Amino acid sequence: MRSVARWVVSWLRRYRPDGNPLRRRSDRIEAALVVAALAVVLLAAWPASLIARTVYDGGVRAERMGLGARQLVEATLIQDASAVAVDGRGMLGASPVRWTLPGGEVREGMVPVALLLRDGPANARLWVDAEGRPAVAPPQRAETVTRAWLAAFGVVSAAAVLAWAGFVLGRHRLDRRRYREWEAAWAAADRRWRRHHI
């Protein structure tokens, strides 16, 4: 923990604005790049919150159950799902199922085994959409919240990666300029020293 604190203090010292006459123009530009990178990450919080809110609202809409949305209905397996053949990927396929809609209409069809909530050898429950077709179960609230947090984290992470990449690229260009300046300064110093020693 102490090494992290030492690293933070050294960065603050390195990039703090001060009137140090030894700071070159490139040092001030690098400090400005750090401030710009931090600003990009902090400003990413606003679009991250908007995207998280959009994902959350969509998840809450997907959670809706009841009339005009997903409903859980009773179903009867016409053929036991354990007898259903396995497809080429090793996944269970579909099973013939009969289900009754809340309005009393009886439907029958092939339903993916993964959508069936088994209650016994022949009984099951099935989520259906507003048209009475088999549907996936609505997401839980924890899943909705997790997706919203992941969306926000993804936006902030993308902003942080872009800001870091911009800083690294800018610093690399500044370092190349510094190396050229140092070489020119050493060459000038070498010429002066040679003149004095001749």
* pLDDT over 50 (residue 89): no
- The pair phi, psi for residue 64, each rounded to 5°, is -55, 140
Q: How confident is the model at residue 197 (pLDDT cuts 50, 70, 90)?
A: low
User: What mean pLDDT value characterizes the chain?
Assistant: 81
What gap in Å lies between CA 111 and CA 126, rounded to an integer? 9
pLDDT, tens only, 150-169: 999 999 999 999 999 999 99
pLDDT interval class at 39 (50, 70, 90): very high
Q: Are the beta carbons of 29 and 177 closer than 8 angstroms?
A: no
Assess contact for 94 and 101: CB atoms under 8 A: no
Q: What is the pLDDT of residue 171?
A: 87
pTM: 0.64
